[in-house]
A and B are shown apart, each in its own frame.
Chain A
C-alpha cells in the first residue's frame, strides 16, 4: 500500500514536471519528445486507476500516433530555437487564471460530491449482461453510451474530410518512391507489419470480453499505416478515391444504420434487438476500426507531402 502510494506520488510529481518542461522546452523537438513521455506516464496513471482500456488508448493514440504527427510536423517546420512569444499581460495571466480556476472548480466538485449509494460502475456491472458483450467498458462505449461513441467517430470523420478538403486528392498520389528508406528499416517493417495487423485484430476481438476494442485496434493498425508511409509508400495511395471515402465513412454509416435498425425494431435509436445485439456490436466495431484506422493514417499522411505540394507549385 505504502509502496503503491509512493509510486503514485512519484508519478504525479513526474507528470507535472514533464508537463511544465514540455511547455517550456527550449526547442520544438524537445517539446514533442517530452509530450510523448507525458503520454506514456499518463498511460501509467490510467493503469494505476485500474483503467487498462484508457491506458491502451492513451499510449497508442495519445503518445504514439499524436507523437508521430508532432515529430513529423517538427521535422517539416524545422526546429528553430523558440522565440519568446510576445504576449500582453492579459495573454500571460489568462491561461494561468483559467487553469487555476478550472482546477478549483474540479476540486470543489470532488469535495462536495454526494454519495448517492452506488457508483455508475456498479450500475454498469449490474446490467452488462443485457448489453450483448461481456466487457463493461465495451458495453458502455457501444451500448449504454453508444450515442457518444457514434458522434466521436463522426468527429474523426469530419477531421478526415477537412484534410481531404485542404489537400484535395493530393494525399492519394504516391510520393516519389523513397530511395532514402534504409534496407534495415524496410526489413524490420516486413516483420512488424504482419505482427501489427495480427495484434490489431486481437485487440478488436478481445474487446468483447477484456480490455481492448475498436479504438485501440485502430490505433495499432494506423501505426502500421504510418510506418509504411514513413518508408515512402503511402498506404492509402493505391486506393481509388471512392474506396478511400468508403473506408472513411463505413464506421459512421454502419453505426448510423444500427441506430436506425434500433429505431425501427425497438422504437429507440441505437437500441439493439436483444437476440442480435452481439452480432450488431461486432459489425459496428469492425467498421469503426477500419474507419478510425483509415482516418488516423489520412491525418498523418495529409500533413506530410509538402515536397509534392511544392513540386506542384
Chain B
C-alpha cells in the first residue's frame, strides 16, 4: 500500500505533465499567436502549479515548500507579463499589416 501522500504527488505531477503536453501540442497546432499564447500560459500556470504542488508534498521542510511556491509565483508573474507583451506586439503587428495591405 502506497503512502497517500505519494499517491497525491504522482497524481499532481502526472496532471501537471498533461498540461505541459497539451500546452506544447497547442503551441505546435494552434493557428495564430493569440491562441498559442493561450495554450502555453496554461502549461506555465496550471502545469507548473500542479508539479510544484506535487513536489511540495514531498518537501523535507517548510522552507523548501516556500521556495517551491516562490518559483511558481515568479513564473506566474513572468508568464502573465510576457504573455501580455507578446499578445500586444502580435496585435500591433496585425494592425500594421492590415493598414499596410
Cβ contact within 8 Å between A192 and B74: yes
Q: Which 7 A-B pairs have the closest CB atoms?
A: A188-B81, A184-B84, A188-B77, A191-B77, A185-B81, A185-B85, A184-B81
Q: Does B33 contact A (CB under 8 A)?
A: no
B74 partner, pick from A182, A185, A195, beta carbons under 8 A: A195
Q: Does B88 contact A (CB under 8 A)?
A: yes
- In the assembled complex, the CB of A23 is this many whole angstroms from the nearest CB of chain B, namely 22
Interface size on B, residues (CB 8 A): 9
CA–CA, A184 and B80, complex, Å: 10
- In the assembled complex, the CB of A251 is this many whole angstroms from the nearest CB of chain B, namely 27
Q: Does B78 contact A (CB under 8 A)?
A: yes
Interface residues of B in 31-46 (CB under 8 A from A): none
- In the assembled complex, the CB of A278 is this many whole angstroms from the nearest CB of chain B, namely 23
Interface size on A, residues (CB 8 A): 7
Kindly report which residue of chain B lies nearest to residue A189, judged by CB atoms.
Answer: B81
Interface residues of A in 257-294 (CB under 8 A from B): none
Cβ contact within 8 Å between B78 and A192: yes
Kindly report which residue of chain A lies nearest to residue B81, judged by CB atoms.
Answer: A188
- In the assembled complex, the CB of A180 is this many whole angstroms from the nearest CB of chain B, namely 11
Q: Chain B residues near A192 (CB, 8 Å)?
A: 74, 77-78
Provide the A188-202 mask, 1 if CB < 8 A to any CB of B, else 0. 100110010000000
CA–CA, A66 and B13, complex, Å: 31
CA–CA, A191 and B75, complex, Å: 12
Cβ contact within 8 Å between A182 and B77: no
Residues of chain A at the chain B interface (Cβ within 8 Å): 182, 184-185, 188, 191-192, 195
- In the assembled complex, the CB of B85 is this many whole angstroms from the nearest CB of chain A, namely 6
CA–CA, A33 and B11, complex, Å: 33
Cross-chain pairs A/B with CB under 8 angstroms, 11 sampled: A182-B84, A182-B85, A182-B88, A184-B81, A184-B84, A184-B85, A185-B81, A188-B78, A188-B81, A191-B77, A192-B77
Given contacts A184-B84, A188-B78, A191-B77, 15 further A-B contacts (CB under 8 A): A182-B84, A182-B85, A182-B88, A184-B81, A184-B85, A185-B81, A185-B85, A188-B77, A188-B80, A188-B81, A192-B74, A192-B77, A192-B78, A195-B70, A195-B74
Q: Chain A residues near B85 (CB, 8 Å)?
A: 182, 184-185
Q: Chain B residues near A188 (CB, 8 Å)?
A: 77-78, 80-81
Kindly report which residue of chain B lies nearest to residue A202, judged by CB atoms.
Answer: B67
Q: Chain A residues near B74 (CB, 8 Å)?
A: 192, 195
CA–CA, A233 and B84, complex, Å: 21
CA–CA, A150 and B77, complex, Å: 37
CA–CA, A185 and B82, complex, Å: 8
CA–CA, A66 and B80, complex, Å: 23
- In the assembled complex, the CB of A219 is this many whole angstroms from the nearest CB of chain B, namely 15
CA–CA, A44 and B10, complex, Å: 21
Q: Chain B residues near A185 (CB, 8 Å)?
A: 81, 85
Q: Chain B residues near A182 (CB, 8 Å)?
A: 84-85, 88
Choose among B77, B80, B81, B88 the residue with the greatest number of A CB atoms under 10 Å from its CB: B81
Q: Chain A residues near B80 (CB, 8 Å)?
A: 188
- In the assembled complex, the CB of A67 is this many whole angstroms from the nearest CB of chain B, namely 14
CA–CA, A268 and B62, complex, Å: 45
- In the assembled complex, the CB of B10 is this many whole angstroms from the nearest CB of chain A, namely 14
CA–CA, A24 and B77, complex, Å: 34
Kindly report which residue of chain A lies nearest to residue B89, judged by CB atoms.
Answer: A182
Q: Chain B residues near A184 (CB, 8 Å)?
A: 81, 84-85
- In the assembled complex, the CB of B69 is this many whole angstroms from the nearest CB of chain A, namely 13
- In the assembled complex, the CB of B59 is this many whole angstroms from the nearest CB of chain A, namely 16
CA–CA, A192 and B84, complex, Å: 16
Kindly report which residue of chain A lies nearest to residue B67, judged by CB atoms.
Answer: A202
Q: Chain B residues near A191 (CB, 8 Å)?
A: 77
Interface residues of B in 41-94 (CB under 8 A from A): 70, 74, 77-78, 80-81, 84-85, 88
